[in-house]
Amino acid sequence: MRRPFIAGNWKMNMTAESGTKLIEELKPLVKDANCDVALCVPAILIPAMVKAAQGSNIAIGAENVHWAESGAYTGEISCAQLKEYGVKYAIIGHSERRQYFGETDEGVNKRTLAALAHGITPIVCVGETLEEREGGVTEKVIYKQLKDGLAGVEDVTKVVIAYEPVWAIGTGRTATNVQAQETIAFIRKTIGELFCPKCAEKVIIQYGGSMNAKNCKGLMAQPDIDGGLIGSASLKTEFAQIVNYDNYFEN
């Protein structure tokens, strides 16, 4: 059985004060969750958020990481620097990084391999644009992202995959339960082909396109959806309702 995993992605939001306040509010609300819980926060907030989450079941992750051990990479952060603060996860290849900062599948691969080498779990994002979905090339696009982004990975079960349809990120639009399940089932099938079927059955695959308190229960009921990579809803206590999708919250 795959253990569900709900992770928040704060993007370029929150301050040390507001982030600490939110985590303090979330801690009692998610303490009995039947899933793993993480918040991926801006790099400058990591030390303060690690402190705020101390003693709770909320892990702190990063929103990106560089592949080099050190060097002349102004503005970047290394795995060693993240590990020093106990960071457990790093989002890699988010569509906003690809769209606004020119990140490529090759870069995703290098970051993924570096994270794994340092014991950081990479949350590798894949997904298609609206044009690609309407053009019928969703599977072709995602297959390439997986093949190139995971090249050289020895144990794919140590990687989390986040399917994030680009057309559903920050737009309020969400893939239907059927659309999300079909594409994530394809992702699992592809991982089985690239690695092995047994490995694919163990890989955690999240849905990352505007999951919120209203739609999480239906999405999480799908057989291949193991969690969510949550954007705007992770900036408020609504995040706890998503984490507890199987408990007190009713859709």
Q: How many residues does the chain have?
A: 251
Encode burial over 1-31: b for 16+ CB neighbours within 10 A, e otherwise: eeebbbbbbbbeebebeebbebbeebbeebe
Query: What is the Cα 85 distance to its own chain's centre?
Result: 19
Catalytic residue among 63, 96, 103, 164: 164
Taking alpha carbons only, the member of 206, 84, 186 closest to residue 138 is: 186
Phi, psi at 241, each rounded to 5°: -65, -35
- Asked if residues 226 and 143 have their Cβ atoms less than 8 Å apart, the reply is no
* CA dist., res. 92 & res. 148, Å (int): 13
Catalytic residue among 63, 94, 96, 103: 94
Q: Is 66 a catalytic residue?
A: no
Q: Is 94 a catalytic residue?
A: yes
Taking alpha carbons only, the member of 73, 122, 60 closest to residue 93 is: 122
Residues labelled catalytic = 94, 164
